[in-house]
Amino acid sequence: MTEKKNNLEFVSLLEIGDHYIQASWSHPESSTEIIAIYRDVTKDNGREDFVLAQPIRGPWSTWDAKTDSIVRDYEIAQNARAEASDQALRILDLLNQREGGILAAKKYWDSNRGIVYDY
């Protein structure tokens, strides 16, 4: 099986307080950023438990910047969504690791040349 090229670019990972994290990516087939929002649903178990609070969001129509028009090749949009979904779940996995957690997600994000914000 040939490996498909991943066109997703890491834009920003934003930690908002102690309960929310927003990740955003750009993709050449998307006219705006694709985002995922994670929420900390920790109870009293002493560790952070994050959930993907909403489905990843993005413009799933495709955009050709060269012609400034919408492209009707929906397979391109499906690929952009699949790439973003894979990364969103990867971040979720990192956030819920017993060792590392938020720090592991930030390190991974930084290693992919994305910007990390902490508010």
Residues 14-35 have pLDDT tens digits of: 998 878 999 999 887 666 788 9
pLDDT of residue 65: 67
- Sign of the Cα torsion 95, 3, 54, 61 reads positive
Domain assignment present for residue 70? The answer is yes
Which range marks the domain in which residue 100 is found?
Answer: 9-118
Q: Is residue 36 part of a domain?
A: yes
Take residue 53 and report the two structure tokens written for it: 């609070």
pLDDT digits (tens, 9 = 90+) for 67-112: 887 777 777 777 778 888 999 999 999 999 888 889 999 999 999 9
Cα dihedral sign, 39-90-96-116 = negative
* Helical axes 74-95 vs 102-111, angle rounded to 10°: 140
Q: Say how many Å lie between the first and final Cα of the chain, rounded.
A: 43
87 in a domain, yes or no? yes
13 vs 61, more confident:
13
Number of domains in the chain: 1
Confidence (pLDDT) at 3: 47
In a domain, 2, yes or no: no
Is residue 85 in a domain? yes
Q: Which residue has the higher pLDDT, 88 or 54?
A: 88
